[in-house]
A and B are shown apart, each in its own frame.
Chain A
Amino acid sequence: DQQVKQNSPSLSVQEGRISILNCDYTNSMFDYFLWYKKYPAEGPTFLISISSIKDKNEDGRFTVFLNKSAKHLSLHIVPSQPGDSAVYFCAATPNEKLTFGTGTRLTIIP
């Protein structure tokens, strides 16, 4: 039972354009959502988070949008840079335990 789903295994975006990564969840108890970025041979690195009381959170080039009625969140990266090439994981939690999606591999094309 995959409670957090990232349906796009991979995404390629031209440098300087917008990258949009999507995530869907099924558990209504989730009230806090996070995005992590992972390079090979490293642990996930926290990027940005959003509480269910908000619908948008912005941090520099990264913006996360939450649509609770659709149980959907997205991460926007503008402008995309070559260093953004990595695997991005969406995670959700009602408490201490994070439930992760399967990840989206983002490739930024110079």
Chain B
Amino acid sequence: DTGVSQDPRHKITKRGQNVTFRCDPISEHNRLYWYRQTLGQGPEFLTYFQNEAQLEKSRLLSDRFSAERPKGSFSTLEIQRTEQGDSAMYLCASSLRFGAGEQFFGPGTRLTVL
């Protein structure tokens, strides 16, 4: 399977704990995106990388959130001191084309903060 993969698929944590998610994009894709989706809403943009450079961050991405993409391959999204409002599906996507091209999504990581 050469699609976008995400790990873990589900994460349950207690409020105040730190969590880290991983995304492995399609291998030749140099662009990687993180989105968050809550119930009844469409995915909302969080941040994106071109290779290892983080080029844009949404104001949704508070100081408790940090994303990295070392060596321009896989990416991690860390949430520190989780809050109940962080409960959501975290989606990763990758693309190859410059500018507005199709983004291919992974299955997502569902985070539940108790």
Complex contact A44–B48 (CB within 8 A)? no
Chain A contact-residue range equals 20 to 34
Binds B, one of A11-19, A62-70, A71-79, A97-105: A97-105
Considering the complex, give the chain B residue whose CB is closest to the CB of A32. Answer: B100
**Interface, chain B (partner A; CB < 8 A):** 4, 31, 33, 35, 40-45, 48, 55-56, 58, 91, 93, 99-100, 102-108
Per the bound structure, the CA–CA distance linking A101 and B37 in Å amounts to 11
Is A85 an interface residue, CB under 8 A from the partner? no
**Interface, chain A (partner B; CB < 8 A):** 4, 31-32, 34, 36, 41-46, 49, 51, 89, 91, 93-103
Considering the complex, give the chain B residue whose CB is closest to the CB of A48. Answer: B102
Per the bound structure, the CA–CA distance linking A85 and B35 in Å amounts to 24
Complex contact A89–B42 (CB within 8 A)? yes
Complex contact B42–A101 (CB within 8 A)? yes
Q: What distance in Å separates the Cβ of A64 from its nearest Cβ neighbour in chain B?
A: 13
Complex contact B100–A96 (CB within 8 A)? yes
Complex contact B100–A44 (CB within 8 A)? no
A96-B55, A102-B40 known; A43+B45 contact, CB < 8 A: no
Per the bound structure, the CA–CA distance linking A89 and B100 in Å amounts to 17
